[in-house]
Amino acid sequence: MKGMKRIVCVAMATLLALAAPAAAEEVEEAAETKVVEAAPVIKTDEVTRRIDLAICLDTSGSMGGLINAARQKLWDIVGELALAKPAPELRVSLITYGTPGYGAPSYVKVQTQLTNDLDTVYEKLMALGTNGGAEYVGWVLHDAVTRLEWSDARDALKLVFVAGNESADQAKEEYDFRKVCADAIKQGIMVNSIYCGSPSDGIAPGWREVSQLADGNFAAIDHNNGTIEISTPFDKKIAELGAELNKTYVAYGAHGEAGAANQVAQDSNSAKMGAANSAARNIVKAQALYNNASWDLVDARNGKDFDLSKIKKEDLPENMREMTIEEQNAYLDKTEAQRKEVRKQINDLASQRREYIEAERKKLRKKGDKSFDTAMLRAVRAQAEKKSFAFRDNFNEGAGNE
C-alpha cells in the first residue's frame, strides 16, 4: 500500500502490554482489577494531571529489534497521551536490564529518573546497544518501584512496562516478581508485561502472571511480525514547522546551551527513523506536555514561583542582558506568541494527519489487520480511561496552543 512500510521489529517497550485483547490473538487480557489501597489524598493541579510512565527494556544480545521498535514508536505513544484531558503532565523513566556492563548482581541501570525532559529520554534510548547477559525481571521491577520518585497524587496514572524474552523467574531468590508486583499495586502502580516470543512457550505464563498480579495487561509478540509506519502528505510540512518552533526557545542558565543543542540533536535522530517518526516527534513538541522549563525561558516563565528579575544577567541570552525587565517580558511575550502560532499550525496539520492515518488503518482492519500498532492506539486510551482521563478527537481542540 502506498505510503506504508513495514518496520523490522515488534516488541515495543513504550507500548508494552497496551495491546487491546480484542485486537490481536497474541494479546491476552489480564485478571480483573483488584482493590488498590488508597493513596493519600494530595491536592493536584486543577488543569493538569500526572501520568508517570516507566519503560523497562531488556538490552541483552537478542533484543535489538525491541530497542529499535521503542525508538520508532515513542513519539506516537506520547502523542496519543497528548490528546488526553485534563491535559496530562507526563513524566517518563527509561530503565534497562540484562547487560553485563551494568554491573553485578542486578544488571539493571536507571537511564533516567521520571522526568518531563522527553529529549533526554529519547537521547538515552537512541544511545542504547545490546549485549548478552542475565535478565532479571523481578529485579528490574523492584528498582522501578523503589528507585523512582513516583507521584503521590491519588489521581495519577502510574505505569510500569517491562519487556523481555527470558524467564521472569530468574533471580527470584533475590527479588521474586510476585512479591514485587504485589508491592507495586499497593502503591497504585500497574505493571504491564510483554513477552517477546510465542504465548505457547513454557515461560510465557510467568510473564502473564507479572501483569495479572499488578492489574496490567499481558502481550506475547511474534518477532516475525512488524509494526506499521504510515507516511502522510503532511509529514514534510510538520517537520519544517518543527524547525521553526525551535527558534522560539530562549535558552538560559547552566543548561540552556546543552538543552537547545539536544533538542536539535533529537530532531535529527528522529528524522533518521523516517518521516513519520519525525512528524510524530514534532507534533509532541507542539503540545503542553513537551516542557523545557529547565533551560527555556518561555516555558520557565509559565511555571509557578518563577521570577524573571531574579535571573542573573550572565544567565540570560546575550540579546536580553541589556534589556530592562519590562523589555525582557515584552520580548518573551512576543516569542511566546510566535510559539503559539507555530504550534497551532502544527496541530491543525496533526489533526488532518490523524484523520489520514485512521483512514489507512481502517483499510488494514478490513483486510484482517491485527497489528500491534492498531491494538496499542486503542488500548492506550483504555488504560488512561481507567483513571478517568477522557480524550479529544483532534490536536487542535486542546492544550498546547494556549
pLDDT in tens, 288-314: 999 999 999 999 999 888 999 999 999
pLDDT at 10: 39
pLDDT of residue 375: 54
Residues 184-194, mean pLDDT to the nearest whole number: 92
What integer is the mean pLDDT of 107-119? 96
Asked if 57 contacts 96 with a C-beta cutoff of 8 angstroms, the reply is yes
Spatial separation of the C-alpha atoms in residues 63 and 12, rounded to whole Å: 10
Question: Scanning the structure block, which residue is given the C-alpha cell 514534510?
Answer: 236
Angle of helix 235-246 versus helix 256-272 axis, rounded to 10:
170
Tell me the average pLDDT across 38-42: 32
CA-to-CA distance for 302 and 66, rounded, in angstroms? 37
Q: What is the pLDDT of residues 84-99, one digit of tens each?
A: 999 899 999 999 999 9
Alpha helix ranges (H) inside 83-117? none
Quick one: CATH architecture of 4-229+368-395? 3-Layer(aba) Sandwich (3.40)
Q: Pick from 209, 213, 97: which is nearest to 144 by CA?
A: 97
Query: Percent of the chain scored above 90 by pLDDT?
Result: 61
What is the average pLDDT value for the chain, to the nearest integer?
Answer: 83
Q: Contact at 8 Å (CB) between 103 and 136?
A: no
Q: Which of 304-318, 366-380, 381-395 has the highest mean pLDDT?
A: 304-318
- Residue 124 is predicted with a pLDDT of 96
Class of residue 43 by CB neighbours under 10 A (exposed 0-12, middle 13-18, buried 19+): exposed
| Domain residue limits, the chain | 4-229+368-395, 230-358
- pLDDT of 372 > 80? The answer is no
Report for 10-14, 249-253, 363-367: range of highest mean pLDDT: 249-253
3-state secondary structure of 22: coil
